[in-house]
Structure 1
Amino acid sequence: MPQQSPLDVPEGDPFGPHNLPYGVFSTSGDTRRRIGVRIGGYVLDAGAAAAALGSPYAGLLGRPSLNPLLAAGRTAWRDVRRALTAWVTDPGHRPAVEPHLLPLEEAVLHLPYEVADYVDFYASEHHATNVGKMFRPDGDALTPNWKHLPIGYHGRSGTLVVSGTDVVRPSGQRKAPTDPAPVFGPSVKLDIEAEVGFVVGTPSELGRPVPLAEFEDHVFGLFLLNDWSARDIQAWEYVPLGPFLGKSFATSVSAWVTPLEALDAARTAPPARDFPLLPYLDDADSDRPGGFDLHITVSINGQEVARPPFATMYWTAAQQLAHMTVNGASLRTGDVYGSGTVSGPEVGQRGSLLELTWNGRDAIELADGKRTFLEDGDTVTLTAWAPGANGTRVGLGEVTGRIVGSR
């Protein structure tokens, strides 16, 4: 019986040829960073395969970072994806392609792009409502601006780290309402934020807003993102300018970027709007729904604790991009923006421990004990899938991080 090819991906595999996410890898025997494309349980050295096939895209794919491909623009993204699909599905290409496949477990995965700027949003109505109920129990859960614009802030791009990187427990000032004065020390309310990130490819001109209709011309793909939060540090520092040390110590991102084109079947309409939107945010007449039907799972130490549904997000990624640039702010290749915590209407759909434990009031049960917030040694993993064409599933690469003690 002939040996099965790594390209014979089992039916139902969420990383089949309908997906083909991009990453950057090296190996223990060769530390050169190379663009890889995931197919089943293997990584294809895309640059080497392109060279072997005499492809005109060898120059874009034979790089140590995705940034040149990101900057090449939407037409190049489409054409490269079509070429890659042919390489992994056409039996005639197998002699040239198969030597450049290696098992996933042999690949050392790296941050796949050079990050330019980082922006984080606050786009889940369920998350924002829960937070408002906790911290403004005698007032309105949502602030007056919430349903009129996507609220966001500029984060720290230099501390975005790839999945698998340990997260050092941050230290800073904190002050409980009953404390007479602030104290300094490690955070005792270290939390997660289950999010989806988007990476910009095509830059934009300073002074020119990017309209809703140009979202797919500028955004290359999406990935899972965990925006770790030190709730106690943040609570003391954030008035009046917002998050700072409580958020800037680490943001974990997946090693795999799923191109938007792979998610056409996952497009879905966002929730109904409660107020008329200003024209630059009004997507009512858009010919493509702006939401994505992503099914996220949050696990701590291997135990599932929540399933946040991305389809419930009030503000879409296109609206976030439009708002981020409406004042003329320019986009740069490698800009990353996060959706904000993804939470659904049910308790088991909340994407943060702040909500799952109601700010520490209700501990959750894990096999190794109760948790209100994260302890040293805890490992958090986010995974997700989306519906694909013809009943397939599109897998999103996981993002994981382990908490280690403060230094």
Structure 2
Amino acid sequence: MASPKSWVPIPPKSDFSIANIPFGIITSRNSQTQKRPAVAIGDHALDLLAFSKGNGFSKLPSVDVSVFEQPTLNDFAALGRPVHREVRKYLQDILSESTSYPEILKDNAELQKAALLPKGEFKNHLPMKIGDYTDFFAGRNHAVNLGSMFRDPKNALQPNYNHLAVAYHGRASSVVVSGTHIRRPNGQILLDPTKPTEPTFAPCRFLDIELELAAFICKPNDLGEPIKIKNAADHIFGYVLMNDWSARDIQKFEYVPLGPFTAKNFGTTVSAWVVLADALEPFRADKLKSEIPPPKYLTEERDDTVYDIKLEVDLTTPDGGTTTISRVSGKNLLWSFPQMVAHHTVGGCNLGVGDLFGSGTISGTREERDDLGSMIEMNQQGKREIQLAGMDVRKFLKDGDTITIRGTCGGEDGALVGFGECTGTIESAVVYD
């Protein structure tokens, strides 16, 4: 079924076709301090506060428009997926060439001027107030690739991996929106592996990326009340791209026995626009096959509970040379996000609106040289160099390098569903006297 055309001009390769309608938070040139919700359409943002004040939602009286006065999407998300679906469909109609209500916006030049902001007239901000952040390890290929580096490949996966969705709790305060610079962390590293009790305090030398998808929670649960797998999808608001920056040398020294800490908490980047779960429905795909059946509380009714999102990672050096260093599908997950929700709450943990779940690094099987989601996999634990444009090379990131993650689905008839960019540039470490 062909996607409807929009009266708003949309570039053919835009992530934000009328088939998408992702939500975000913006400020504008004329209102630089008031953060408010918007949706992306082509190279424009529809300011939902201005749209609401101009009676844009007059044909949708059931929706509480006060949520569009808030500086985050949390209140809108908390209305639940049926409301998200209703609002998205309404906005698709309003922006359609054959809109049912041309008087609302298409033929209303005054409201267009106030609410339909062209690129360059608005700035994106973190879309949600994040209460908690959990990063999973659901990319089975990544887990196998790393495990094979550090152990016998026959025992690449830890014994628990196929039984549950492994995760660690991250730091919500250092999750930042795309475009925010990331400062290289300092920490304790082992310069001489033959002296395991003599670390050196220094800037990270093995600064890495982790290509991930992430989901925001929209529906809380009470403490002590697990979320059943059959209901778990109703708790997911939408999805973003994520880069869980990783200091591999700091991590190597500190992770025993409790796992990642300062090697992970210095910065996590997410894309600015939240792609609603409904927008990804046409792109469902089967999860990776597990070696054993999951336990009953994680058993889904269908296998196609992940998404075939075309993911790419670009590395741009300080001199401006750009190389695509990874191309991989988002379907390379063993555990789906609904399974992550069910497992996270099985012991009674209460989730909150705005909580962020990361998928873990998404990688292919190494059969292709460019289908890996982290540099430590690409360089085979420092054994090979990653070739870049202009005869440049990398093993890990240097100061001034910029990483850009992109993700798109579809594209037939101009109906591209994408996330925009998830980008960050590395700044030099703090100098200690």
The verdict on a shared fold, with TM-score over 0.5 as the criterion, is yes
1:75 corresponding residue in structure 2 = 82
Distance 1:244 1:348 in 2: 29
Moved more, 77-86 or 373-382: 77-86
Moved more, 253-262 or 270-279: 270-279
Distance 1:262 1:41 in 2: 18
Q: CA deviation at 1:14?
A: 3.4
2:385 corresponding residue in structure 1 = 363
**Equivalent pair of 2:229/2:338 in contact (CA under 8 Å):** yes
Assess, with a 3 A threshold, how the Cα gap between structure 1 residues 54 and 224 changes in structure 2: closer, same or farther: closer
Q: CA deviation at 1:406?
A: 0.6
Letter of the 2:271 partner, please give it.
Answer: S
Q: Which blocks of at least 5 consecutive residues in structure 2 are unaligned? A: 1-5, 317-321
- Name the % identity: 40
Distance 1:105 1:360 in 2: 41
1:404 corresponding residue in structure 2 = 427
Report the secondary structure of 1:318's partner residue. helix
1:98 aligns with 2:112: yes
Q: TM-score, normalised by structure 2?
A: 0.89
Moved more, 304-313 or 115-124: 304-313
| Residue correspondence of structure 1 range 250-399 to structure 2 within 5 A | 250-283=267-300, 285-286=301-302, 289-301=304-316, 302-345=322-365, 346-367=368-389, 369-387=392-410, 392-399=415-422
Distance 1:203 1:376 in 2: 40
1:168 corresponding residue in structure 2 = 183
- The correspondence for 2:145, drawn from 121, 130, 134, is 130
Distance 2:293 2:184 in 1: 43
Moved more, 14-23 or 161-170: 14-23
| Residue correspondence of structure 1 range 191-230 to structure 2 within 5 A | 191-230=208-247
Q: CA deviation at 1:388?
A: 6.8
Q: CA deviation at 1:108?
A: 1.2
Q: TM-score, normalised by structure 1?
A: 0.94
Assess, with a 3 A threshold, how the Cα gap between structure 1 residues 149 and 298 changes in structure 2: closer, same or farther: same
Q: CA deviation at 1:50?
A: 2.2
Report the secondary structure of 2:107's partner residue. helix
**Equivalent pair of 1:6/1:42 in contact (CA under 8 Å):** no
**Equivalent pair of 1:266/1:294 in contact (CA under 8 Å):** yes
Distance 2:342 2:270 in 1: 23
Q: CA deviation at 1:390?
A: 7.1
Letter of the 1:329 partner, please give it.
Answer: C
Distance 2:349 2:37 in 1: 30
Q: CA deviation at 1:129?
A: 0.6
**Equivalent pair of 2:187/2:204 in contact (CA under 8 Å):** yes
**Equivalent pair of 1:26/1:107 in contact (CA under 8 Å):** yes
Distance 1:12 1:293 in 2: 18
Q: CA deviation at 1:11?
A: 5.4
1:108 aligns with 2:158: no
Letter of the 1:163 partner, please give it.
Answer: S
1:241 aligns with 2:269: no
Distance 1:13 1:174 in 2: 43
Assess, with a 3 A threshold, how the Cα gap between structure 1 residues 158 and 270 changes in structure 2: closer, same or farther: same
